[in-house]
Structure 1
Amino acid sequence: MSLNIRLSRAEDAPLLPAVERSAAQAFACHPGLEWIAEGPLLSSAEHMAFITSNQEWVVVDQQDEPQGFICTKAMGHNLHIVELSVAQAYQGLGYGRRLIAAVGDWAGTQGFVALTLTTFTHVPWNAPFYARLGFTRLADGDLDGALAQLLEVEVAQHSSARCAMSLALR
């Protein structure tokens, strides 16, 4: 089954929270993080903001229905991955890797020096997954102000081990 990647469009926005909810079900069996399966999602309005700024890509099936997405925002010279979600039925098939690769290729042409993200340290499909893609964990002293502040907020909210990671684009 081959899916395609394209920029997200306005008509995708109402469909993307369901994709994120499906993706979040992977946490239902992870001790201490079960709440994510039913937790807050990006709203359709938040997706529209990413869409209108050309900062969201989707992986779509043969009917052009989104089955995954990645949304980003510029943070200085870096492009920060805000959310990466792939519907549960499509997880483990390489679509997350393809979304990251597509965004990395685009970001490089736009002059960004790195992709950044924040993630759980101990969840196999989080930090270890990104490390396999070439992301490196950033030490606290290597975080710029915005990324350090974001990580601090997430650690307080999630009360679980979080880290920031970076993938050099040059």
Structure 2
Amino acid sequence: MDPAFEPRPARPGDLPLLPPIEEAADGLFAPLGIVFPPGDPVVRLMIDNGGDILVAGDPPIGFAAVDELDGAVHLEQIAVHPDHVRKGVGTGLLRAVLARAAAGGFPGVSLLTFRDVPWNAPWYRAHGFAELPEDRWGKGVRNLWNAEIDAGLHDLGPRLVMWRPTGPRPVPGRT
């Protein structure tokens, strides 16, 4: 990844630049038949509610929005402007989120995402996330899941909850 895109905490002047990045990134879903319901961008809601925002670039070309949920870090969203996808920006943001979660003593990172979109669940799986069974969901994750249903997000495609612990990743095939 280009060092100019190294993730950093968002500054106040970055915040108005983030909703257009989210809206542009959301356009990548249209060819898959996924068109998000109208309303405020997720990042604007995160900003208004005091969520933690990391950005890549100056001015930003991508961001990660996180919050604390059920005693862990919850990754609400990673968005990268379409002009900068497939350059390691999203991976850099994800690594920064995981590092900050580990440094903060959190047990892991949760997220909700589309099961079949290549840059969603398969991408997170390649970065060590696994599906979190419903019987392990905390109250906060369950509330988010239900809010997504109410907002019509689940009508756009199959969703799932994923989790990655912040501790050492096990070697595949070993217990």
TM-score by length of 2: 0.85
* CA–CA distance in structure 2, aligned partners of residues 131 and 82 of structure 1: 16
Maintained 8 Å contact 1:57/1:99: yes
Q: State the match for 1:58 in structure 2.
A: 55
Q: CA deviation at 1:98?
A: 0.8
Q: CA deviation at 1:78?
A: 0.8
TM-score by length of 1: 0.87
The count of residues paired between Structure 1 and Structure 2 equals 162
Q: Which runs of 5+ in 1 are unaligned?
A: none
Maintained 8 Å contact 1:113/1:168: yes
Maintained 8 Å contact 2:76/2:111: yes
Q: State the match for 2:173 in structure 1.
A: none
- Give the superposed CA RMSD: 2.0
135-144 or 39-48, which deviates more: 39-48
Alignment of 1:109 onto 2:111 = no
Structure possessing the higher relative contact order (Cα contacts under 8 Å, 6 or more residues apart): 2
Distance 1:46 1:118, change over 3 A: closer
Q: 2:23 aligns with which of 17, 21, 24?
A: 21
Q: State the match for 1:137 in structure 2.
A: 131
Maintained 8 Å contact 2:6/2:92: no
Q: State the match for 1:47 in structure 2.
A: 47
* CA–CA distance in structure 2, aligned partners of residues 85 and 162 of structure 1: 17
Alignment of 1:163 onto 2:160 = yes
* CA–CA distance in structure 2, aligned partners of residues 11 and 163 of structure 1: 34
Runs of 4+ in 1 over 2 A off after TM superposition: 36-40, 42-50
Q: Which runs of 5+ in 2 are unaligned?
A: 168-175
- For the residue of structure 2 that corresponds to 1:89, the secondary structure is helix
Q: State the match for 2:73 in structure 1.
A: 79
Maintained 8 Å contact 1:27/1:37: no
8-17 or 145-154, which deviates more: 145-154
- For the residue of structure 1 that corresponds to 2:15, the secondary structure is helix
Alignment of 1:97 onto 2:99 = no
Distance 1:94 1:40, change over 3 A: same
How high is the sequence identity, in percent, across the aligned residues?
28
- For the residue of structure 1 that corresponds to 2:162, the secondary structure is strand
